[in-house]
A and B are shown apart, each in its own frame.
Chain A
């Protein structure tokens, strides 16, 4: 097993993800330059956070044209795990691999803070060690994390169980118009899955909370689950 951490020009959480996968979670990983046309030999891919192409256009709008994205799309269709974190999530929505869009935060400012996430799903690839209703704490760090989609899509997401995480209070209470949903996301959505459940996009950064020294290990739930999926 081996996971590709895609490096776009302007990615800046690439090494953090690589470190969380390889050094902390024990998942073999490699940094892969976005000009690569093949992901042969890899079993999964992570699109890390950052500011691909500076986010000077819409976040993720240019990165979706990177040569490697054809391969990422193939992974998504083949059922291989694809995880997009922050800018990675934005790229996945821009590329049409995940539904919806990430708008500018409600207060129009960059937000770096802890958030509480209520688990909405029991996805076997990414959330094996979590159960519906669990609350985990992860940090966000973004300018455009305000999830939006049309009514029909939202209905669909709910019905098909594609919502992975929602911003909540520490007790798991959802209040859309409160400080617990700081970026103003529709339905307090923090992460979504594709229909098949092998692609997860999320704004919070699990790779930042994988060690006690840095304050929390809640992010490990996701990486451990991924490892379990690979090793069986």
Chain B
């Protein structure tokens, strides 16, 4: 099909559009689109770009607070830190590309999210990743894991942005659809923010960065389809990352942005030149003229269709103030980058594209962007819901405690993630105060007293068993993780990974999940400022567990009042908080081969009490450390404290139901230690149930519970904790 020939219904269907959508296009245009124009429609109306299945639900999120400067709808969200500075952050998925080509898929995911941040004028200061893999024993899974981690390391390390934390989980549900969710946070001065708006009639439009190739054509459409079996054929849809060029682009842009020459700027991400040009003109209420033969090309003979839909990486579209062209070009020249004037801003409300003198694109922007289809897709409660949600809790018999525990510690979900994070430069830029392996990462801001904390959380098992409350728990867990280093939440970005929205049961999970997230976010008064929806995480008809990843940003008012994990010999180890804990729906139960159960009762009031207790305790300097109890239960939390503090711990537990007590999971609990008297008094003040489990003593981890006993040295536990992952990675 030639780019300027009229397209047909058949073409529309082959590009992933429906018959109804084709009719809608004809109605808008009152003529038949040519093939290039049809390609533009299919990209902008893809699920990935248009949010057509999710839009009506996303509106429910709270998006405002006194700190919010920019909510959803821009390249990234912006939250005020003080009167001068702000943070700019977003999380995004790169699931489909990473499953097809793990190294480049993950690498370009990092590259893309970085561009979303620095295009707004912010310097990226931290990356974080939430990764979800299948069973490592499955064929290819270790290859996918190593590829993804290698790709993240390749891009992040090279460009010099530290990867400071994240989450990695392994469940069978991801055997055929891994998830790669990448988060980036940048910092900027409030008066130096740039938006993706094309404004000012006559202002020149510049293309900057790498040349355009044929890679990634229709990547957005690919991300809006389920996988069948032809994965290899999709490899050319995956883009190739060039972090070095992006580093130059980053430095060049931040240098130009110090001046007064840029009117608006946007990354060419999903759907490349198409989405950037239409979205910028839409936000600016303007129009654009594009001369497509001026776009720098990497390959010969590319036509307008390919130029508009290429997803080559490390490119930006920029509106320059008229008369400032020379200033801009000089900086790009210094950094050896291409910058080409490819068009100008108009007031026509249209994007008009010319190629070799012929007008090949003539499209009204409004119907394409604001008029994109919105669907209220059918929902149906899945049959598994009632079947699995049994009231009666699971009983798991433990015959040999030590054996069972060691086996559980070797489960990759509980393993130390050192084999992963030591491949990431987590200290470059010298701001990282708390390194990976803490509940949240913490960054200082040079010259300021405060710090920025970040965490990413979700328990997909709970979100499967109960999408609504499981999603509320994801928010609660993030809040708890921030509080465990003394931070208060200031904003959220989300990455909502689900199956096929055309399946009513998946759509039900999505609807429930949004309700659960909204409920908890409103309760804690945390605004959502950016995010991303990834549907079609489905292979051969099987969808992933609902995975609404929460990226939460917190504020620590005094960077010096944070955990040091250096408890004094003899000081107590306390369990703070209480509430329902259950074995069914625990990660231990999945480890033992069960998949069932009602999840523990959600009690946000209890969560808030614990949050206040933790933040206050850090403020008063009572805590040497705190650790949230989540996946794996109390036992994992205690072992992790031992690994961080490297101090002997002696504990005796007699709960009556030791399996439940040690391995069971529920919300609203944390282990705390530090100043015994201060902690006890504070717990009374905040009405937090508190229980002494033992104290820091000697050199070993020593736990007794009824007839059970487990005693091991730091080195022994370190080896056990590293084995689960290192055997697949080293």
Contact = CB atoms under 8 A, between A and B. Distances in A.
B248 interface: yes
Nearest to A33: B334
A155 interface: no
Contacts, number: 85
Counting chain A CB atoms within 10 Å of each CB, the highest count among B153, B158, B242 belongs to B158
Interface stretch (B352-360, B426-434, B626-634): B426-434
B463 interface: no
Contact of B444 (A56, A143, A213): A213
Given A10-B244, A110-B153, A16 B429 contact: yes
Given A208-B427, A214-B432, 15 more contacts: A9-B244, A10-B158, A19-B430, A51-B159, A51-B247, A54-B158, A107-B730, A109-B150, A109-B153, A112-B157, A112-B425, A112-B426, A113-B422, A205-B427, A215-B435
A16 B430 contact: yes
Interface in A1-34: 9-10, 12-13, 15-16, 19-20, 23, 33
A19 B158 contact: no
Contact of A50 (B160, B248, B559): B160
Contacts of B247: 9-10, 12, 51, 54
Counting chain A CB atoms within 10 Å of each CB, the highest count among B334, B421, B422, B428 belongs to B428
Contacts of B425: 110, 112, 141
Nearest to B423: A110
B243 interface: yes
Interface in A196-226: 205, 207-208, 211, 213-215
Ranked 9 nearest A-B pairs via Cβ: A12-B160, A54-B244, A51-B158, A141-B425, A16-B430, A110-B423, A110-B153, A112-B425, A113-B422
Contacts of B446: 19, 23
A103 B585 CA distance: 48
Nearest to B336: A9
A53 interface: yes
B335 interface: yes
Interface in A81-117: 107, 109-113
Nearest to B246: A54
Interface residues of A, number: 34
Contact of A15 (B335, B429, B435, B730): B429
Contacts of A207: 430
Contacts of B242: 54
B433 A213 contact: yes
A205 B247 CA distance: 21
Contacts of A33: 334
B560 interface: yes
14 contacts: A10-B158, A10-B244, A12-B158, A12-B160, A12-B428, A16-B430, A51-B158, A54-B244, A110-B157, A141-B427, A205-B427, A208-B427, A214-B427, A214-B444
B402 to A, nearest CB: 26
Contacts of B422: 111-113
Contacts of A205: 427
Interface string A123-165: 0000000000000000101010000000000000000000000
B622 interface: no
A214 B434 CA distance: 8
A110 B336 CA distance: 28
Contacts of A112: 157, 421-427
A112 B149 CA distance: 13
B716 to A, nearest CB: 15
Contacts of A214: 427, 430, 432-433, 444
Contacts of B559: 213
Interface in B482-510: none
A12 B155 CA distance: 13
Nearest to B419: A109
Counting chain B CB atoms within 10 Å of each CB, the highest count among A12, A205, A214 belongs to A12
Contacts of B336: 9
A139 B425 CA distance: 10
A17 B730 CA distance: 32
Contacts of B427: 112, 139, 141, 205, 208, 214
A193 to B, nearest CB: 25
Contacts of A211: 430
User: For chain B, which range describes its interface: under 10, 10 to 19, 20 to 34, or 35 or more residues?
Assistant: 20 to 34
Interface string B140-158: 0000000000100100011
A173 interface: no
A50 B159 CA distance: 8
Contacts of A53: 244
B307 to A, nearest CB: 26
Contacts of A9: 244, 247-248, 335-336
Contact of B159 (A12, A35, A110): A12
Contact of B244 (A16, A56, A143): A56
A55 interface: yes
Nearest to A139: B427
Contacts of A139: 427
B444 A55 contact: no
Nearest to B157: A110
Contact of A213 (B153, B334, B429, B560): B560
A89 to B, nearest CB: 16
Interface in B528-570: 559-560
Contact of A51 (B150, B157, B334, B429): B157
A181 to B, nearest CB: 15
A146 to B, nearest CB: 16
B429 to A, nearest CB: 6
B243 A51 contact: yes
A50 B158 CA distance: 7
Nearest to A207: B430
A16 to B, nearest CB: 5
A13 B423 contact: no
A51 to B, nearest CB: 4
Nearest to A14: B160
Nearest to A52: B244
A9 B247 CA distance: 8
Contacts of A19: 430, 446
A230 to B, nearest CB: 23
Nearest to B335: A9
Contacts of A23: 446
A143 B424 CA distance: 10
Contacts of B243: 51, 54
Counting chain B CB atoms within 10 Å of each CB, the highest count among A13, A20, A54, A107 belongs to A54
A16 B429 CA distance: 6
Contacts of B157: 51, 110, 112, 141, 143
A52 B374 CA distance: 47
Nearest to A24: B430
A51 B243 CA distance: 10
A33 B255 CA distance: 13
A90 B285 CA distance: 51
B386 to A, nearest CB: 47
B244 A51 contact: yes
Given A50-B160, A51-B243, A207-B430, A109 B423 contact: yes
A16 B157 CA distance: 15
Nearest to A107: B730
Nearest to B446: A19
